[in-house]
Amino acid sequence: MVAEHARAVGAPTRGTTNPNRLRRVDRWLTGTQPVLDALRGFPDPLVVDLGYGRSPVTTVELATRLRGVHAGVRVLGLELDAERVAAAARMASPPWLEFRRGGFELAGTRPALLRAFNVLRQYPEPDAARAWSTMLAGLAPGGLLIEGTCDEIGRRCSWVLLSAHGPQSFTVSCKPSELRRPSDVAERLPKSLIHRNVEGERVHAFLSELDSCWAHAATHRPFGPRARWVESVRLLAERGWPVHGDRRRWRLGELTVDWACVTPDW
């Protein structure tokens, strides 16, 4: 599928992962039009899962889910850790699933979709910003990068969708029944935002407004946390925030807004 690449760029880590940890991300990918358009622009789009960790389980899940919306999808898992690559490569895999050693240079591939989840948080902020540029430069024309973070079991997640033009949207996805308030997700913000959740930064204003909507939506508490979340998102939209999607998505505990809502003061 790809040529071997001389130097894999980045620094390996412990590799914590879990089955189904990235289900919320995968569900969003398979239900979001710009992502589907990026995949359907190719008969056999290449999708790279960068930094799959000590087990390739989330890469296998990604491949299965994406092939449900585009039967031609090929998935390549890249890891810096050579032993993890050898272990994954020994698994019996279908021809549309492969594992190789590689880093931000993407092993010389040009994916239509690139997922890097729970990878950048270990890097200092300036290195993470450079990694975005390196990864974006490696995408196929019209390609997209999804980069984000979540907790160990995938109940609190957030991510950024980027194209060659830069960040496009920011998404929070969580299990509302486990929240005291929506800003609980702050501990799982992507590297580009986690240090910016302070007074005066947009992401802080955004999460504060969402908390305020959650407080107002307390009237929906008798209908359950999910209904309260949906009402919070509806209120946010009513207050003029560029909220994407509709109740169908919000009921999943999702909220996507334009990246402009959270852009850091770089």
Ligand X SMILES: C[S@@+](CC[C@H](N)C(=O)[O-])C[C@H]1O[C@@H](n2cnc3c(N)ncnc32)[C@H](O)[C@@H]1O
Q: Which two tokens stand for residue 214?
A: 């959650």
Please report how close the Cβ of residue 65 comes to ligand X at its closest, in angstroms. Answer: 15
Query: What's the alpha-carbon Rg for the chain, to the nearest Å?
Result: 18
Q: Which two tokens stand for residue 207?
A: 């999460």
Enter the DSSP assignment of 243: B
Q: Which is nearer to ligand X, 11 or 92 (CB)?
A: 11
CB 39 within 8 A of CB 113: yes
Distance (Å, rounded) from C-alpha 168 to C-alpha 14? 30
Residue 228 amino acid letter: R
Contact residues for 265 (Cβ-Cβ < 8 A; gap 6+): 196, 200, 201, 202
Residue with tokens 């993407």: 106
> Contact positions toward ligand X, by CB under 6 A?
9-13, 15-17, 21-22, 50-53, 58, 78-81, 103-104, 117-119
Q: Which is nearer to ligand X, 12 or 34 (CB)?
A: 12
Please report how close the Cβ of residue 13 comes to ligand X at its closest, in angstroms. Answer: 4
Q: Which is nearer to ligand X, 80 or 217 (CB)?
A: 80
Q: Which is nearer to ligand X, 120 or 243 (CB)?
A: 120
Q: Which is nearer to ligand X, 53 or 138 (CB)?
A: 53
Please report how close the Cβ of residue 143 comes to ligand X at its closest, in angstroms. Answer: 17
Please report how close the Cβ of residue 112 comes to ligand X at its closest, in angstroms. Answer: 19
Q: Which is nearer to ligand X, 16 or 177 (CB)?
A: 16
Please report how close the Cβ of residue 25 comes to ligand X at its closest, in angstroms. Answer: 9
Please report the sign of the dihedral spanned by the C-alpha atoms of residue 23, residue 28, residue 29, residue 30. Answer: positive
The C-alpha angle with vertex 155 and arms to 151 and 158, in degrees rounded to 5, equals 70
Distance (Å, rounded) from C-alpha 221 to C-alpha 204? 25
Residue nearest to ligand X (CB): 10
Closest among 184, 175, 168 to 136, alpha carbons compared: 168
Q: Which is nearer to ligand X, 9 or 36 (CB)?
A: 9
Please report how close the Cβ of residue 147 comes to ligand X at its closest, in angstroms. Answer: 11
Please report how close the Cβ of residue 97 comes to ligand X at its closest, in angstroms. Answer: 15
The C-alpha angle with vertex 183 and arms to 180 and 188, in degrees rounded to 5, equals 110
Across-strand partners of 116? 50, 147
